[in-house]
Amino acid sequence: MIIIKLVLSIRRFFDNPAIPREYRRNFIHLYFDIAWFGILSGSAISFLTVYAARLGASGFQIGLLGALPAVVSLVLSIPAGNWLQTQPVGKAVFWSAALSRIGYFLWILLPWLFGNQGQIWALAAITLAMGIPMCGLSVGFNALFAAAVPTEWRASVVGVRNVLQSLTFIISSLGTGYILDHLRFPIGYQVVFGIGFLSAAMSTLHLFFIRPQPEPGSVAIIASPVIIPKSKETTKRPGWHTSLRLDIWRTPYRNTLLVLLGFHLAQYLAIPLFTLYSVNYLHLTDANIGLGTALFYLTVLLGSTQFSHLQHQVGHHKLTGWGVSALCFYPIAMALSRNAFHYYLLSIVGGFAWALVAGAYANYLLERIPEDDRPSHLAWYNLILNAAVLFGSLAGPLLAGFIGIGTALIVFGILRFLAGIAILKWG
């Protein structure tokens, strides 16, 4: 009954006569983009590290799957931001997505080409190659979203996107678990990777149709339908200092970058350990993992229904801080789990915390960025994000090897709580 009400509310939003005609098309394509991406996330992306673990991957190798794209982004984030300053943002995002998502097709072929260890290292190489165009997509999508969705509609659009992603993620996670339990290894994973590639292709197609628009009632255009406007700084002084945009670190945006660096570091220190603990310590089946991830996103979905009300009451800043603090529950509860029931319970509670973060932190970030200089500011955010992914993905398994995976999860949970406090106090 709750799901039916949510679907009806989404349909009413689609048909809302208050949405200007010029924005309606963008909104619809943004919704279909995230719906297909939800299927991709619930299938191929969610089960990539599980597949690697079942192939016998070590903690270092699983961490490497998350760290390698971060290496690329650390090198290319600033150049990508400068490149986006001179490109039609819509086309740049589309081609970046198309090139990066070819890699999902290559995953399907690996069992036919390599043995277990060969597949693990091939997955790492493909993931590294996907990270190159993915950098343009990561930097560019937030700029495209800001240019395609007026300020007063962003919270509503983000809320609907979160609901749609949760719905499709839930369905695809349950379906993926069923497929993997009923098809022999590794054919089941090849089918899942095929579903992921099809979903990635459809998501990319909808990105093609999203067009930047001017803010209603404004003469100035946030992001031109042709080229993102450059800031005065980037046109005034060419050279390495300008290319790096170090001037951004002399603005209040510096505090936002630092607290988000703390958040993402605490986040990614724990992430590689979740798969290892689930597969090697809890001995969960693929169906167990599929159901757990589905329950997680079910509570994200339910939490998203209250997001619009909460953001009007307290704002994106406080919601982000509270949500990040609440994320401490997931790694701590996992360290204390002993069976599949415990895994389901922590997934349910963890989903509510992530609903706050997922709904609020992108808008919180955009609120801290000047409207005429988004790509360079987002490039710096992408850089600190990937620095956290790189360090966290490698350091998390390394530290767990010294102090034990359970103790490490508890420590990383405490760090998440402190990161949320830092966002509330200094962000």
Q: Would the pLDDT of 241 be above 50?
A: no
Asked whether residue 3 is assigned to any structural domain, the reply reads no
Read out DSSP for 342-370? HHHHHHHHHHHHHHHHHHHHHHHHHHTS-
Asked whether residue 236 is assigned to any structural domain, the reply reads no
Task: Give the whole-angstrom CA distance, residue 274 versus residue 354.
Answer: 16
Q: What is the mean pLDDT of the chain?
A: 84
Across 250-264, average pLDDT: 91
Query: If we measure between CA atoms, which residue out of 39, 41, 15 comes closest to residue 27?
Result: 15
DSSP 281: I
Q: Would the pLDDT of 239 be above 60?
A: no
Domain limits at 194?
A: 21-214+244-426
Give the percent of the chain with pLDDT over 90.
48
Asked whether residue 191 is assigned to any structural domain, the reply reads yes
Asked whether residue 237 is assigned to any structural domain, the reply reads no
pLDDT digits (tens, 9 = 90+) for 311-367: 777 788 888 999 999 999 999 999 999 999 999 999 999 988 888 888 788 888 888
Residue type, 286: D
pLDDT digits (tens, 9 = 90+) for 12-23: 555 565 666 777
pLDDT digits (tens, 9 = 90+) for 65-78: 888 888 887 787 67
pLDDT digits (tens, 9 = 90+) for 280-322: 899 999 999 999 989 998 888 887 777 667 777 778 888 899 9
Asked whether residue 78 is assigned to any structural domain, the reply reads yes
Predicted model pTM: 0.77
Report CA-CA distances (Å) from 278 to 53, 63, 173, 259, 395. 10, 15, 16, 30, 19
Asked whether residue 7 is assigned to any structural domain, the reply reads no
Backbone angles phi, psi at 281, to 5 degrees: -110, -45
Q: For residue 376, what is the domain's CATH number? A: 1.20.1250.20
pLDDT at position 43: 94
Asked whether residue 6 is assigned to any structural domain, the reply reads no
Count how many domains the chain has.
1
Tell me if residue 234 falls in helix, strand or coil: helix
pLDDT at position 292: 92
Asked whether residue 257 is assigned to any structural domain, the reply reads yes
